Amino acid sequence: MIFTHFLTASNESNAFLVACETTRKALLVDAGAFEPAIAEFVDEHGLTLETVFITHGHYDHTDGLDGLVARYRPRIVARQTPCAGHTADVVGHGDTVSVGNLKGTVLATPGHTPDMVCLHFDGMVFTGDALFAGSVGGTSGATAEQQQLDAIRKHIFTLPLETEIHTGHGPSSTVSIEKQFNPFFVE
């Protein structure tokens, strides 16, 4: 697997690129901004950016779509369509998203937004604004907050402990760290 991280200027959101070493096909997780570093990485490594996966529809995760679509014409995968004005392939919990020989699984974790979805590949999961290092996404009320906590416990905390967690903002983490120490889950 080829993997890298980009810090975008859009509310300091993260974007991540996952690519198949064999096919050189790449998938970008979230698109807060179309940073020059993204194009440089794609060009430098001879990749084809064929898919952009959107964890949820907030501007700081989608504002880069216009530039990415203009340059690469990627397939956009999201929980809802249209996504920031672009037609998206709609996915739900348990669906598979492939990039070359790599297969990811969609995990629904509504709460921060109703359309919030995570993407799990072997060894790493992209959690958008559902789960952060030592924190969780903001919600509109107690019901949504509980829904989010329940979904994280059910779908993220049941992954292998060494699974890397790559979040929508701030640093990455692991399932082990968050299960043991995230203040929103442990007293």
Partner 1 sequence: MTAFTQLITDDRDALVEALREGQGKGSVLRDVDLSGCDLQGVDLSEARLSRANLRGANLEGANLRGAFLDSANLRNTNLSAACMEFAVLGAADLSDADCSKADLRRSNMVGIDAQRAVFRDAQLYYSRPGNGDFREADFTGADIQRAIFRRANLAGANLSNTTGTANLDRANLEGVTR
Q: Is 37 in the site for partner 1 (CB under 8 A)?
A: no
Minimum CB separation from partner 1 for residue 70, in Å? 26
Instruction: Give the x/- contact pattern for partner 1 in 148-167, rule: CB under 8 A.
Output: --------------x-x---
Question: Near partner 1 by CB under 8 A, which window of 23-31, 58-66, 84-92, 126-134?
Answer: 126-134
Q: Is 164 exposed, middle or buried (0-12, 13-18, 19+ CB in 10 A)?
A: middle
Question: Near partner 1 by CB under 8 A, which window of 75-83, 93-101, 132-140, 148-156?
Answer: 132-140
Question: In the set 9, 21, 81, 103, which binds partner 1 (CB under 8 A)?
Answer: 21
Q: Is 122 in the site for partner 1 (CB under 8 A)?
A: no
Q: Is 39 in the site for partner 1 (CB under 8 A)?
A: no
Which sign, positive or negative, has the C-alpha torsion 41, 129, 60, 114?
positive
Nearest to 124 by CA among 170, 150, 156, 171: 156
Helix (H, G, I), strand (E, B) or coil at 170: coil
Report in angstroms the alpha-carbon separations of 180 from 99, 107, 171.
32, 21, 17
- Strand pairing class (48-53; 25-29): parallel
Q: Is 135 in the site for partner 1 (CB under 8 A)?
A: yes
C-alpha span between 39 and 33 (Å, rounded) = 12
Question: Near partner 1 by CB under 8 A, which window of 63-71, 78-86, 131-139, 141-149?
Answer: 131-139
C-alpha span between 143 and 153 (Å, rounded) = 16
Positions that interact with partner 1 (CB under 8 A) = 1-5, 7, 12, 21, 45, 132-135, 162, 164, 170-174, 176-178, 180-183, 186
